Structure 1
Amino acid sequence: MLDKVLEARQTQFSHVKPGDTEWRGEGLRDFFLYRDLGVAEATHGKVIAHLVKANMAPEKGTGWHRHEAEFQIVIMIKGWARFMYGNKETLVSAGDCVHQRPGIVHYLFDYSPDMEYLEIVSPADFKTIDVEGPCEVPPFTPWK
């Protein structure tokens, strides 16, 4: 019996190809599309990995917030995004990797039309908490 319980908790093998999952608008932000990579199911909720891409032009961005998560990275695949991490503006371009330490207050306020990034977070059911920002946010760049 114990073997079956331990086996049920083990991380499973997962292989998701581009056509296996669809882009969906059912994510944290309605101006992005999300594509699940099967990691949350394979890890029994320990980790989530999804692709995120721009769906609408930036108007107000994400607002100031923080995540209740143990681990979070963003790897920019295409385009760029401008974040505020505390009172520091950070441009994240294709090829860049950002480790967002637990609880860091941030704001994604601008991004290119072709922006696409991989986000990996633990746990999969992390919480997002809106917070007061430490400073003003620069204006976004309108799409042409």
Structure 2
Amino acid sequence: MSIVGRGIVQELNKLIDKRVEVRLVDGKTYVGTLLGYDQSSLHIILGDAESSDGRKVHRVIITGPRISEILVVEKPLFDAEEFRNYLIERLNLPPGSVRVIPEINAVTIYERIKVTESGVEGAGSLAQKVFDIYQEYIARKKRSA
């Protein structure tokens, strides 16, 4: 896979479960939640979508060749790289212990705790501290948005 292809896949992965606007080559648009996509064909699935003619549908599958562009309707609050730096600063962690996984916009701490926009996965006192900092980070981002 080319570098450009990997970049597109990374960006699409960040958009899963986000509201997007999909413009088709014929000018029609759909706004909905990106539920998934096929990496090779770029077919996408939108949930709770509304078309430009006002029709609301539970699911719509759009074939890749029909897509002109995909626009992000909502700005994601969670930025993995930014959260990594924030976490290192707040907990005084060694930088090597906190890793960003850009493909899924996630952060891992000591390979045991994973943080995504959905929350914190892990157990123990460190996971609880990370969760508290995650909540603080998200609250700060919401205030500044």
Please classify the TM superposition score into its range, dividing by the shorter chain length.
under 0.3
Q: Which has the larger radius of gyration?
A: 2
Greater percentage in helix: 2
